[in-house]
Structure 1
Amino acid sequence: MKRYPSIPRADAASALFERGHLWIQEKIDGWGVRFQLQESGVIRVGDRERVYEAGELPARYQHLIRHLRENLDREALRAAVGDVESVVFFGEATVKRTIDYEWRRTPSFLGYDIWETNEERFLPPDAVEKVYERLGLNPVNTVQKEVRAVDFDPDAYEIPESNWYDGPAAGVVIRNKTGERAELTHPNVEATTDVKPVEGPAEEVATELATDRRFRTVATAVEARNRAVTVDTLYDRVFEDIVREEHDRLFHDAADFDEGAFRSELAALASEFVAERSN
Structure 2
Amino acid sequence: MRSFPHLPDVRDSQAPDDLLTGHLWLLELIDGTGLRFRMDESGLLRFGDPETTYADPETVPIALRPAVRHVRDRFDREALRDAVDDPEGVIFFGVATHYQGTDYDWDRLPPFLGTDVWIASQAGSQAASGTGSFRPPDAAAAIFEGVGLDSVNAVEREVNARDFDPEAYAIPDSAWRDGPAAGVVVRNKRQGRGKLLAAGTATDAGETVPEVDVPDDIEAIVSEYATDDRFERVVDDLDRRNAGATVDAVADRVVEAIARETPVRFGEGSKGTAPDRVRAAIIERARVALDRR
TM-score, with structure 2 as normaliser: 0.86
Alignment of 1:184-263 (within 5 A): 184-189=196-201, 193-200=210-217, 202-246=218-262, 248-251=263-266, 255=271, 257-263=273-279
1:95 counterpart residue number: 98
Range with bigger deviation, 138-147 or 51-60: 51-60
* Matched-pair contact (CA < 8 Å) for 2:94–2:114: yes
Equivalent in 116, 127, 141 of residue 139 of structure 2: 127
Paired with 1:162 and 1:240, the residues of 2 have a C-alpha distance of 24
Given the alignment of the two structures, is residue 60 of structure 1 paired with residue 69 of structure 2, yes or no? no
CA positional deviation for 1:242: 1.3
Distance 1:255 1:15, change over 3 A: same
Q: Read off the aligned partner of 1:257 and give its amino acid letter.
A: T
1:35-184 matches, cutoff 5 A:
35-54=37-56, 55-118=58-121, 120-184=132-196
For the structure 1 residues 262 and 17, does the alpha-carbon distance in structure 2 shift closer, same or farther, using more than 3 Å as the test?
closer
What amino acid maps onto 1:7 in structure 2? L
Structure with greater proportional helix content: 1
RMSD over aligned CA atoms reads 2.1
1:240/1:256 CA distance change after superposition, 3 Å: closer
1:105, 1:164 within 8 Å by CA — same for their partners in 2?
A: yes
Unpaired runs of at least 5, structure 1? none
In 2, Cα distance between the equivalents of 1:204 and 1:240?
Answer: 17
User: Is the contact between residue 206 and residue 262 of structure 1 (CA under 8 Å) also seen in structure 2?
Assistant: yes
Who is 1:5 aligned against? 5
Secondary structure of 1:99's aligned partner: coil
Q: Is 2:38 aligned against 1:22?
A: no
Query: For residues 249 and 197 of structure 1, what CA distance do their matches in structure 2 show?
Result: 6
Query: How far apart are the structure 2 equivalents of 1:185 and 1:260?
Result: 35
TM-score by length of 1: 0.90
Mapped to 1, the partners of 2:169 and 2:231 lie a distance apart of 43
Identity of aligned residues (%): 42
**Deviation (angstroms), 1:129:** 0.9
Asked if the contact 1:197/1:254 (under 8 Å) is kept, the reply is no
